[in-house]
Amino acid sequence: MKTVQVGLLGLGNIGTGTYKTLEMNKAQIEAAAECKIEITKILERDVDRERDITVRPEQFTQDPDSIFKDPEIDIVIELLGGIEPATTFMLSAMENGKHVVTANKAAVAANFDKLMNTARENGVEFRFEASVGGGIPILNAITTVLRSNQFEEILGILNGTTNYILTQMTEYGLRYEDVLKKAQEKGFAEADPTADVEGIDVANKLSILMALAFDTYVAPEDIPTTGITQITRKDITSAAVNGCKIKLIASAKLVDGKLEYSVKPTQLPNSHPLASINNEFNAVFVKGNAVDELMFYGKGAGPLPTGSAVMGDVLEIAKLCGRK
Ligand code: HSE
């Protein structure tokens, strides 16, 4: 059986979750891919950190080129986060003939065309399922089995941190600042939570969803975006009096053939399917002109749910590599 070699950029929370997903489920992943999959090199500075995985010291490298120029490596997984140097690294990997998998919504949303075109020009796969909705297979769904639809509407709760904060404020009457701290402790808020609470993370994810579902790329900074920092306990109580919940909603809709989009805190009637999505869970509500209404639900953040999506992409590519 062929061995597909993988280079991993970043062994932080998501990198560790991805590594662990492969470690836990290696036999079944390799059986499904019909080849062996080995993470042979890892670009990571912090080699001494305690991680609940088995990594040999010789797997670590400090030199990205030792991964991009290694003829034995077939797939590069980018899990550094942030736009740079992640984008430059992904482009280098592709230019060196490597397939690329990433969970990096900021880099994909900022450089969507460049990354897609470079992958196409170099005849390599570029997959980023984990970048939207963590473990929820929404990108795969809209680009494969749902492709026969004209999408009419996509509504999403796409950020675990803000949904957790709003849920805790709603259920327990807690203050925004106190809940944010808890979300960081639980590991789904970013170290710098600005992108989460200002809605920027959701705008990145909506940009990717619109590019794939509506073939329309809108840069995240051109999506009208309001975060949750101004939401008070009073707003939440007033919504409750009206039989509503406040959720941070990413919305893209075709209205008279024109795409309308936004990210903003929205009062949803308690009967709306998205109103019952709580804590760090994410959900995406999709309306297609043939399939009608669908809802995708699951963990949108966290090392293992995100690792599951990353490894899913790796598995699909390894299947193709294994056949060559
Ligand atoms: N900080 C993000 C969230 C991580 O809270 O959803 C997943 O993109």
What digits encode the pLDDT tens for the residues 153-196?
Answer: 999 999 999 999 999 999 999 988 889 888 888 777 777 889 99
Q: Exposed, middle or buried by CB within 10 Å (0-12, 13-18, 19+), for 222?
A: exposed
Number of domains comprising the chain: 2
- CA angle, residues 239, 243, 244, in degrees to nearest 5: 50
Does residue 253 carry a catalytic annotation?
A: no
87, 162, 244, 286 from 271: Cα distances, Å: 41, 21, 8, 17
Q: Are residues 159 and 129 in the same domain?
A: no
pLDDT value, residue 301: 87
Q: Are residues 185 and 235 in the same domain?
A: yes
Domain containing 64 — which CATH number? 3.40.50.720
Residue where the block lists tokens 């030792």: 66
Based on the fold, state whether residues 236 and 310 are members of the same structural domain.
no
Q: What is the pLDDT of residues 128-138, one digit of tens each?
A: 999 999 999 99
Both tokens assigned to 45: 């500075």
Q: 160: annotated binding-site residue? A: no
How confident is the model over 143-156, as pLDDT tens digits?
999 999 999 999 99
Q: Distance between CA atoms of 293 and 291, rounded to whole angstroms?
A: 6
Query: Is 190 labeled as ligand-binding?
Result: yes
Task: With CA atoms as reference, report the closest residue to 102 among 121, 69, 124, 71.
Answer: 124
Closest ligand 1 atom, CA of 159? 6
Tell how far the Cα of 323 is from the centroid of ligand 1, in angstroms: 35
247 marked among binding-site residues: no
If asked whether residues 88 and 194 sit together in one domain, one would say: no
Residue 116 has pLDDT above 90, yes or no: yes
At 6-65, the pLDDT tens digits run 999 999 999 999 999 999 999 999 999 999 999 999 999 999 999 999 999 999 999 999
- Mutating to test ligand 1, I would choose from 188, 194, 207, 280 the residue with most ligand atoms within 8 A of its C-beta, which is 188
Please indicate, yes or no, whether residues 112 and 201 belong to a single structural domain of this protein: no
CATH number at residue 222: 3.30.360.10
Confidence of residue 324 (pLDDT cuts 50, 70, 90): low
Catalytic entry in 20, 98, 205, 299: 205
Condensed to tens digits (0 to 9), the pLDDT of residues 293-317 reads 999 999 998 899 999 999 999 999 9
Q: Answer yes or no: do 29 and 168 share one domain.
A: no
Structural domain including 207 reads: 141-299
Residues with CB under 6 A from ligand 1: 134, 159-161, 188-190, 196, 201, 300-301
Coil, strand, or helix at residue 166? helix
Mean pLDDT, rounded, of the chain: 95
Q: Which of 153, 137, 263 is nearest to 206 (CA)?
A: 263
Query: How far, in Å, from the CA of 157 to the mean position of ligand 1?
Result: 11
Provide the phi-psi class of 131: left if phi over 0, else alpha when psi is between -120 and 50, else beta: alpha
Cα 280 to averaged position of ligand 1 atoms, centre (Å): 8
Please give the pLDDT value at position 182.
85
